[in-house]
């Protein structure tokens, strides 16, 4: 009982880790269907659950435990153990939503399994009046057969899996139209153009309602999050290979696509090391037509930043659409052909860098520092002011502060 309690708790560890580092979110954004995600995890965990069960049967056979090995009962025991796994694994999936760290999940779920298993066993043992009977059919639905318990385990597995999908679908509501505040003229014109192009975009994804067919849209985009959403136990090559397969790239082309990304970012020497720095590579794998980069160069040294900028520039020039969010104006000017300033989730201005500078720029500020000398007179400063006024017509706010002279020119 205690061994099974510990074993069952391990099936929640990877799920908690994927959820806490947002790896699960990235996989869903990459186009993974919920059914594929959960059923593949269930199948793999049941295979892993089968191995300890087979080892238990080997132990029973080696020590000649008659209750389990007589009359070929090993097969019956294996069936019971597999039905237990079918019920307990989805339950661990459900309880994994309650935790944010894998260590805490393992400890508390193990305690939960031990207490719940022991308490129910003692309750049945104490409250049941001893009534010794003999039953030749171990799987009989009547006592003392275990048929009704096996049916219960089968039903529990179905119910827990159904609850899992109900919770997941409720966590993914469709976007609703929000009320927009008064917006800039450029933003309003862009919104109008987008609405006019919407039928064309919908025809590209094969759906009349994009928000109701997010999986098709997600398969056409690449996403680089600001956080490190990669699994620690995978190498860079393995991570990129996984996302290449999620993109639907044929198996014979996966290795080539991975090598192209590694080569473009100069990551080939580190491809087979455990790493946490492959978010940008995940977004570029497979050459999606639309790429979202959320502060991609945050935390990079100047050399790595320049390599990333060069890779993004090459992809942009190949005809891909790239959307970057950043707090660095240097990065935006180096990579973007159009800029938008967003406040509280709404665009406030939109246009090319030069258009925004011309529209919202307040001119230039000239700051001149004057070396203090005893024979310096006010007339000398006035000559400099006259030079500024004649050179920059329309300058405003001449200001003198100690040894400096400030003038704003529009």
Question: Block means of pLDDT (10 residues each) for the chain, length 410 residues?
Answer: 84 89 81 85 92 89 81 83 92 92 90 85 70 68 79 92 88 48 79 73 53 68 76 82 83 88 80 67 76 82 82 85 86 86 83 81 70 67 77 62 51
φ, ψ of residue 19 in degrees (nearest 5):
-70, -40
Distance CA 228, CA 140 (A): 53
Q: Is the dihedral of CA 9, 14, 17, 23 positive or negative?
A: negative
Strand 290-294, strand 221-224: pairing: parallel
**Cα–Cα distance list, 49 to 55, 77, 375 (Å):** 10, 14, 92
Write down the pTM of the prediction.
0.65
**Max CA pair span of the chain:** 121
Tell me the three-class secondary structure of the chain, residue by residue. Answer: CHHHHHHHHHHHHHHHHHHHCCHHHHHHHCCCCHHHHHHHHHHHHHHHHHHHHHHHHHHHHHHCCHHHHHHHHHHHHHHHHHHHHHHHHHHHHHHHHHCCCHHHHHHHHHHHHHHHHHHHHHHHHHHCCCCCCCCCCCCCCCCCCCHHHHHHHHHHHHHHHHHHHHHHHHCCCCCCCCCCCCCCHHHHHHHHHHHHHHHHHHHHHCCCCHHHCHHHHHCCEEEECCCCCCCCCCEHHHHHHHHHHHCCCCHHHHHHHHHHHHHHCCCHHHCCCECCCCHHHHHHCCCCCEEEEECCCCCCCHHHHHHHHHHHHHHHHCCCEEEEECCCHHHHHHHCCCEEEEECCEEEEEECHHHHHHHHCCCEEEEEECCCCCCCCHHHHHHHHHHHHHHCCCCEEEEEECCEEEEEEC
Distance CA 349, CA 339 (A): 8
Q: Which residues contact 339 (CB under 8 A, 6 or more apart)?
A: 332, 350, 351, 352, 353, 356
**Cα–Cα distance list, 357 to 42, 199, 350 (Å):** 55, 33, 11
Beta-carbon neighbour count of residue 144 at 10 Å? 11
What is the pLDDT at residue 406? 52
What is the pLDDT at residue 199? 66
Distance CA 236, CA 258 (A): 9
Distance CA 42, CA 80 (A): 18
What is the pLDDT at residue 174? 42
Q: Is the dihedral of CA 285, 286, 287, 290 positive or negative?
A: negative
What is the pLDDT at residue 175? 43
**Domains defined along the chain, listed by start:** 2-130+137-170 (no CATH), 185-352 (3.40.50.300), 364-409 (no CATH)
The 10 Å CB-count burial string (b at 16+, else e) for 268-279 is: eebbeeebeebb
């Amino acid at each position: 009982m205690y061994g099974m309690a510990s074993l069952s708790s391990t099936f929640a560890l990877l799920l908690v880790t994927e959820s806490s580092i947002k790896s699960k979110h990235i996989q869903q954004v990459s186009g993974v269907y919920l059914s594929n995600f959960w059923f593949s995890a269930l199948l793999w965990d049941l295979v892993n659950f089968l191995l300890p069960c087979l080892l238990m049967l080997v132990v029973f056979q080696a020590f000649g435990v008659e209750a389990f090995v007589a009359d070929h009962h090993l097969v019956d025991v294996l069936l019971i153990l597999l039905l237990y796994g079918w019920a307990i694994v989805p339950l661990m999936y459900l309880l994994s939503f309650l935790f944010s760290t894998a260590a805490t999940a393992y400890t508390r779920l193990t305690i939960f399994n031990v207490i719940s298993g022991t308490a129910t066993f003692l309750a049945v043992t104490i409250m049941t009046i001893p009534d010794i009977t003999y039953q030749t059919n171990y799987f009989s639905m009547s006592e003392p057969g275990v048929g009704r318990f096996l049916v219960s385990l089968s039903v529990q597995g179905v119910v827990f899996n159904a609850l899992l999908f109900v919770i997941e679908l409720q966590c993914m509501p469709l976007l609703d139209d929000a009320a927009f505040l008064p917006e800039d003229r450029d933003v309003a014109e862009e919104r109008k153009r987008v609405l006019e192009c919407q039928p064309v975009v919908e025809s590209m994804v094969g759906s009349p309602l994009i928000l109701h067919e997010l999986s098709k849209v997600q398969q056409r985009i690449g996403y680089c999050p600001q956080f490190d959403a990669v699994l620690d136990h995978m190498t860079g090559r393995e991570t990129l290979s996984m996302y290449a397969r999620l993109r639907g790239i044929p198996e014979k082309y996966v290795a080539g696509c991975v090598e192209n990304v590694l080569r473009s970012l100069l990551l080939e020497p580190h491809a087979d090391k455990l790493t946490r720095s492959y978010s940008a590579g995940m977004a570029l794998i497979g050459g999606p037509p639309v790429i979202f980069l959320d502060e991609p160069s945050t935390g990079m040294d100047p050399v790595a930043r320049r390599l990333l900028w060069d890779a993004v520039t090459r992809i942009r020039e190949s005809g891909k659409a790239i959307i970057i969010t950043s707090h660095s104006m240097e990065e935006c000017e180096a990579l973007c052909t159009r800029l938008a300033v967003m406040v509280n989730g709404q665009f406030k201005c939109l246009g090319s860098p030069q258009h925004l500078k011309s529209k919202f720029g307040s001119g230039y500020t000239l700051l001149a520092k004057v070396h203090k000398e005893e024979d310096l007179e006010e007339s000398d400063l006035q000559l400099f002011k006259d030079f500024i006024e004649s050179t920059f017509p329309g300058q405003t706010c001449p200001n003198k502060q100690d040894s400096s002279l400030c003038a704003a020119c529009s």
